[in-house]
Amino acid sequence: MPRPIQATIHTGALRHNLARARAAAGDARVWAVVKANAYGHGIERAFDGLRGADGFALLDLDEAQRVRALGWRGPVLLLEGVFEPRDLELCSRLDLWHSVHCDDQIDMLAAHKTHVGHRVFLKMNSGMNRLGFRPQDYRAAWTRLNALPQVEEISLMTHFSDADGPRGIAHQLAAFQAATQDLPGERSLSNSAATLRHTGTPGLVSDWVRPGIATYGSAPDYPENDAAGWGLEPAMTLAARVIAVQPLQPGDTVGYGSGFVAEQPMRIGIVACGYADGYPRICPTGTPVLVDGEPGRTVGRVSMDMLTIDLTPFPQAGPGTEVTLWGRAARGRCLSIDAVARSAGTVGYELMCALAARVPVQVAD
Ligand SMILES: *Cc1c(COP(=O)(O)O)cnc(C)c1O
């Protein structure tokens, strides 16, 4: 019998969340962001749920090839553009659109021999200070690109650092608008948080939005809002079973470092999921789980292949009982990946991306 741990990718939830992002995006077309192997869901597994998107945005040529291999003939965008000149050959061959964020990438395009006109997304650094041309350099970059015979169409793009938080998008939007006012071309600005929270902001015109995390059913601004509040459904479930039970007396301890000490008689369930499966080791005692669909908690340290939960409130539970680490459970219950991430001091993004390769994954509706 295989080890009793299982991840499930919910095609119906992906479809639902994509529709939710689309509804929030007004008339904009929607890039489904599938970088990092579809945020850990697996591009091939997520494809069916996301094929209603207008295009796929990602980072790696390898991922772009996989999207094409699935039969997708629509737009594919490389969010960071190319890394070396020969990447452009694949862009020409596979008809990939690519972002241009620095002069080196323009130099590469200028030297690229092709009969295929390239569609590029010129990236502005409007304040996040990662990639892109500064507002004062943007027009010159646009002019240079526009003069290249290799370039067929230029779209304008920037990325928000604070769409999920109190600072918001106004300062970046103002910088973007001021520098692009009279430039032609389609605009792409909003990630999930901007799409959900800021659509309708005057001046936030997006021809293409780029939702990632929302399509996977996690709230970009948790805990201010949660996924259910945004009408999103978890697209990934991680569940495992109890493989042993330990009765504890007061003073007994659990796990490495005796990280938990019983103060009264307890029953501890040993669950077949550990940090080598992608469950964060840093999750402290009290991290939420669902035991056969009912709210429960972890106790003690997470180890490589196991974690431990308090079964005292569940006298009927024992070996074989299903424990949901995040996602959907019995009785229609859900445990948001965001709640578990918060317990680990991180965000849902990191947990879903870290699902380990050794976990068997099934696709369900
Ligand atoms: C990852 C990424 C997105 C998607 O962000 P979410 O917060 O997951 O919606 C959008 N745009 C760019 C440029 C990205 O790198």
Q: Is the CB of 79 under 6 A from ligand 1?
A: yes
Rounded to the nearest whole angstrom, what is the distance from the C-alpha of residue 233 to the centroid of ligand 1? 19
Rounded to the nearest whole angstrom, what is the distance from the C-alpha of residue 255 to the centroid of ligand 1? 38
Q: In a mutational test of the pocket of ligand 1, which residue from 189, 210, 221 has the highest number of ligand atoms less than 8 Å from its CB?
A: 210
Q: Is the CB of 123 under 6 A from ligand 1?
A: no
Domain ranges of the chain: 26-210, 236-364
Rounded to the nearest whole angstrom, what is the distance from the C-alpha of residue 191 to the centroid of ligand 1? 5
- Residue 130, CA distances (Å) to 61, 123, 133, 205, 350 in order: 21, 11, 10, 22, 19
- Residue 256, CA distances (Å) to 134, 188, 244, 268 in order: 50, 49, 17, 15
pTM: 0.96
As given in the structure block, the two tokens for residue 235 are 């697209």
Q: Is the CB of 217 under 6 A from ligand 1?
A: no
What class is the 236-364 domain? mainly beta
pLDDT score, position 205: 84
Q: Which atom of ligand 1 is nearest to the CA of 33?
A: 4
Q: Whose CA is nearest to atom 4 of ligand 1?
A: 212
Active site residue 39: no
Q: In a mutational test of the pocket of ligand 1, which residue from 79, 158, 215, 337 has the highest number of ligand atoms less than 8 Å from its CB?
A: 79
Rounded to the nearest whole angstrom, what is the distance from the C-alpha of residue 246 to the centroid of ligand 1? 44
Distance of CA 190 to the CA centre of its chain: 15
Q: Is the CB of 211 under 6 A from ligand 1?
A: yes
pLDDT score, position 328: 98
Active site residue 349: no
pLDDT digits (tens, 9 = 90+) for 171-212: 999 999 999 999 999 999 999 999 999 988 998 988 999 999
Q: Which parts of the chain sit beneath pLDDT 70?
A: none
pLDDT score, position 2: 82
Read off φ and ψ for residue 302, nearest 5 degrees.
Answer: -75, 130
Cα separation, 92 vs 30, whole angstroms: 23
Residue whose C-alpha is closest to residue 155's, from 79, 220, 213, 87 = 79
Rounded to the nearest whole angstrom, what is the distance from the C-alpha of residue 323 to the centroid of ligand 1? 31
pLDDT score, position 119: 98
pLDDT score, position 145: 98
Q: Is the CB of 363 under 6 A from ligand 1?
A: no
Instruction: For CA atoms 169, 175, 179, 182, give the dihedral sign.
Output: positive
pLDDT digits (tens, 9 = 90+) for 257-296: 999 999 999 999 999 999 999 999 999 999 999 999 999 9
Rounded to the nearest whole angstrom, what is the distance from the C-alpha of residue 30 to the centroid of ligand 1? 12
Q: Which atom of ligand 1 is nearest to the CA of 192?
A: 9
Q: In a mutational test of the pocket of ligand 1, which residue from 22, 29, 33 has the highest number of ligand atoms less than 8 Å from its CB?
A: 33
Residue whose C-alpha is closest to residue 98's, from 68, 118, 126, 125 = 118
Q: Is the CB of 191 under 6 A from ligand 1?
A: yes
Residue with tokens 């469950």: 279
pLDDT digits (tens, 9 = 90+) for 79-97: 999 999 999 999 999 999 9
* Helix pair angle (170-180, 135-146), 10° resolution: 40
Peptide bond between residue 223 and the one before it cis (omega within 30 degrees of 0):
yes
- 26-210 and 236-364 have identical folds: no
What is the SS3 assignment for 97?
strand
pLDDT score, position 363: 98
Q: Which amino acid is at 260?
A: F
Q: Which atom of ligand 1 is nearest to the CA of 191?
A: 9
What is the SS3 assignment for 324?
strand
Q: Are 231 and 21 in contact (CB under 8 A)?
A: no
* DSSP state for residue 57 in the 8-state scheme: E
CATH no. for 26-210 = 3.20.20.10
Q: Is the CB of 159 under 6 A from ligand 1?
A: yes
Sort 84 into a burial class: Cβ within 10 Å, 0-12 / 13-18 / 19+.
exposed
* DSSP state for residue 30 in the 8-state scheme: E
